[in-house]
Amino acid sequence: GAAMASKLEKASNLFQQHFSSSASGGGDDDDVTIAVAPGRVNLIGEHTDYTGGFVLPFAIEYSCVVYGQGKLTTSSSSSLSSPTQASLSFVSAQGSQELVQLQITSESTPPEKSSWTSYVCGTVFQYLVDLPQSSHLELKFAMASDVPLGSGLSSSASLEVSIARFVEAIIGTTFAFSSCEDDTNHAKIRAMRCQKAENTWCNSPCGIMDQYISSAATKGGLLMIDCTSLEAHQTLMASTERPLLVVANSNVQHDIGGGEYPIRVKQCQTATTALQKVNPQIQNLRDATLEDVEQAKEHMKDDVSYRRAKHVVTENARVEQTKAALEQGDWKQVGELMNQSHASMRDDYEVSCREIDMLVEIAQKQPGVYGSRLTGGGFGGCTVTLVDKSQAQNLVETLQKEYKAKTGKDCDPFQTQPAQGAHILTL
Ligand code: GAF
């Protein structure tokens, strides 16, 4: 579509500007590789991935494009082995558009303080450590993305996954997956590497949902991901009078990097320890029932552990129910579960905020709306609403108008549908 054409144009212009040799008098697009990876919306299953639970996200049409060239040189003389090296030159259409030039090796350690370039280097590093010793990977590329930054639509996962897909295309499948020959699920392995990049290079204890859906989504479907087994099942919405999905952006970012997310991760660990006292079988919150949670209440120091565990356990159950309801076309039930999910995130998990609650309340009052909730990590970001086709336009207009009146901010509502995951674009 038009959005992809515009990203491509930005990336290819930047690439020409920085990398085409003036001697040859301009662009040679013949051997460029173009990798694309999308952002995502999570329909339901929030803050369940890092305790091995269930999630039900889909990819959206906003994506990150990596446009570039590269080559891998493997050394034949194995007598003098040195670390594997990567020379990276890249530029992003976002921000200052300055050329970044960095060297990393298979022995590099993450920088003390991470920046946006850590997402790039951390991802390349995951592939570098599996390449033959003494090889040299050279990459030059330009990036353009239209995933709104820091809005809970996984701009960082789309960046990591598009870089990963680009690297795989440059080094080839054999070198990219040599260390995991018996596992042919490349999308899953890519997701694991990108999550590891974010965990180790970017100081973020995120789960695997965002990288997984960006990597593995297929057009038209949602994925129910089991974050323990890392198996994913495609979920299609029944075709009966299929409603639409509308996303609204609160345009607030509370507490980004302020540590609320890592605090939730720790609180889940504390709750799990208490649960293990009543049921030693429980390894992760995913294994607990609501009954376990009620029983473990007395072993919990405070109400917080109890409420955190209750959210996760009930949310996991809601994901399974939502999957079934989607496949049966029971939109009322899907909407009801979305509303329950939101209340649970707001009251028990405490990851919502005033602006998000406003968007949800405005949406829930509109005709034709089945349900609405916060999507993503929270403390700002976006909401997702399931709405009857005939009322979608009214919803978009009302959200925009009422949110503006209440907060002075736009919420840029847009309609979306499940898009394709990471892929190589051929022109
Ligand atoms: C963020 C994280 F990156 C995901 O792993 C997930 O935990 C999500 O918040 C909450 O469901 O997007």
Query: Does residue 46 line the site of ligand 1, with CB under 6 A?
Result: yes
- Phi, psi (rounded to 5 degrees) for 193: -65, -40
Query: Does residue 243 line the site of ligand 1, with CB under 6 A?
Result: no
Is this prediction's ipTM beyond 0.85?
Answer: yes
Query: Does residue 50 line the site of ligand 1, with CB under 6 A?
Result: yes
**Helix, strand, or coil (residue 370):** strand
Q: Indicate whether 28 pLDDT > 70.
A: no
pLDDT, tens digit (0-9, with 9 covering 90-100), for 270-308: 999 999 999 999 999 999 999 999 999 998 988 999 999
For ligand 1, mutation pick of 206, 268, 284, 345 (most atoms within 8 Å of CB): 206
In 220-290, the DSSP E strands lie at 222-226, 231-235, 244-253
Position 21 scores a pLDDT of 67
Atom number of ligand 1 nearest to Cα 154: 12
User: Whose CA is closest to 51, among 277, 297, 275, 237?
Assistant: 275
Average pLDDT of the chain? Answer: 94
Cα 54 to Cα 305: distance, rounded to the nearest angstrom:
20
Position 79 scores a pLDDT of 58
Cα 354 to Cα 360: distance, rounded to the nearest angstrom:
10
DSSP line for 8-71: HHHHHHHHHHHHS-GGGTS---TT-EEEEEEEEEEEE-TT-GGGT-EEEEEEEEEEEEEEEEEE
Q: What is the pTM of this model?
A: 0.96
Average pLDDT over residues 176-190: 92
DSSP line for 335-358: HHHHHHHHHHIIIII----HHHHH
Position 78 scores a pLDDT of 58
Atom number of ligand 1 nearest to Cα 46: 11
- C-alpha of residue 420 to centroid of ligand 1, in Å: 20
Position 184 scores a pLDDT of 86
Structure tokens at 313: 């356990």
pLDDT, tens digit (0-9, with 9 covering 90-100), for 393-405: 999 999 999 999 9
Query: Does residue 378 line the site of ligand 1, with CB under 6 A?
Result: no
Atom number of ligand 1 nearest to Cα 47: 11
pLDDT-derived band at 2 (thresholds 50, 70, 90) equals confident
Atom number of ligand 1 nearest to Cα 207: 5
Cα 369 to Cα 391: distance, rounded to the nearest angstrom:
8
pLDDT, tens digit (0-9, with 9 covering 90-100), for 31-40: 999 999 999 9
AA letter at 93: A
- C-alpha of residue 335 to centroid of ligand 1, in Å: 21
* C-beta separation of 160 from 52 below 8 A: no
Position 23 scores a pLDDT of 44
Q: Name the DSSP letter for residue 97.
A: -
- C-alpha of residue 119 to centroid of ligand 1, in Å: 16
pLDDT, tens digit (0-9, with 9 covering 90-100), for 234-270: 999 999 899 999 999 999 987 555 689 999 999 999 9
Block residue for tokens 């690439």: 15
Position 258 scores a pLDDT of 66
- C-alpha of residue 283 to centroid of ligand 1, in Å: 20
Largest CA distance in the chain: 75
pLDDT-derived band at 26 (thresholds 50, 70, 90) equals very low
- The b/e string for 313-323 (b: 16+ C-beta within 10 A; e otherwise) is bebbebbebbb
Task: Report the share of the chain in percent with pLDDT over 90.
Answer: 88
Kindly list the catalytic residues.
Answer: 210
For ligand 1, mutation pick of 51, 209, 264 (most atoms within 8 Å of CB): 209
- C-alpha of residue 210 to centroid of ligand 1, in Å: 7
Cα 422 to Cα 71: distance, rounded to the nearest angstrom:
21
Cα 370 to Cα 377: distance, rounded to the nearest angstrom:
22
Structure tokens at 267: 């609180």
**Helix, strand, or coil (residue 308):** helix
